[in-house]
Amino acid sequence: MKQGLLVVVSGASGTGKGTVCSALLESLPDLAYSISATTRLPRDGEKDGVNYYFLSREEFREMIDEGGFLEWAEVYGNYYGTPLKKIQERLAEGQDILLEIDTQGALKVMEKCPEGVFIFLVPPSLEELERRIRGRGTETEESLARRLGAAREEIGIGRRYRYVVMNDKVDLAVERIRAVLMAERCRVERNTDIFEVLEK
Residues near ligand 5GP (CB under 6 A) are 13, 17, 36, 40, 71, 73, 75, 80-82, 100-102, 104-105
Q: Which does 80 bind (CB under 5 to 8 A by kind): ligand ADP, ligand 5GP, none?
A: ligand 5GP
Toward ligand ADP, which CB reaches closer, 128 or 190?
A: 128
For strand 78-83 and strand 36-38, is the pairing parallel, antiparallel, or unpaired?
antiparallel
Sign of the four-CA dihedral 43, 47, 53, 58 = positive
In whole angstroms, how far apart are CA 143 and each of 2, 10, 75, 148? 43, 19, 12, 9
Comparing CB distances to ligand 5GP, the nearer of 81 and 158 is: 81
Rule CB under 6 A: say whether 13 interacts with ligand ADP: yes
136 binds, among ligand ADP, ligand 5GP, none (CB under 5 to 8 A by kind): ligand ADP
Per-residue DSSP letter, 37: E
- In the bound state with ligand ADP, the residue whose beta carbon lies nearer, of 157 and 170, is 170
Tell whether residue 185 is a contact of ligand ADP (CB under 6 A): no
**b/e per residue, 154-187, with b = 16+ CB within 10 A?**
bbebbeebebebebeeeeebbebbeebbeebeee
Report the amino acid identity of residue 193.
D
**Contact range with ligand ADP by CB under 6 A, out of 51-59, 130-138, 149-157, 185-193:** 130-138
Beta carbons within 8 Å of 177's beta carbon, 6+ residues apart: 9, 20, 24, 119, 165
Cβ-based nearer residue to ligand ADP, 125 or 191: 125
Residue 28 or 35 with smaller CB distance to ligand 5GP = 35
Tell me which stretch binds ligand ADP (CB under 6 A): 17-25, 33-41, 52-60, 180-188. Answer: 17-25
Q: Give Cα separations from 111 to 68, 73, 98 (angstroms).
A: 17, 15, 17
Q: Please report, as ranges, the residues that interact with ligand ADP according to CB under 6 A.
A: 11, 13-19, 132, 135-136, 167, 169-170
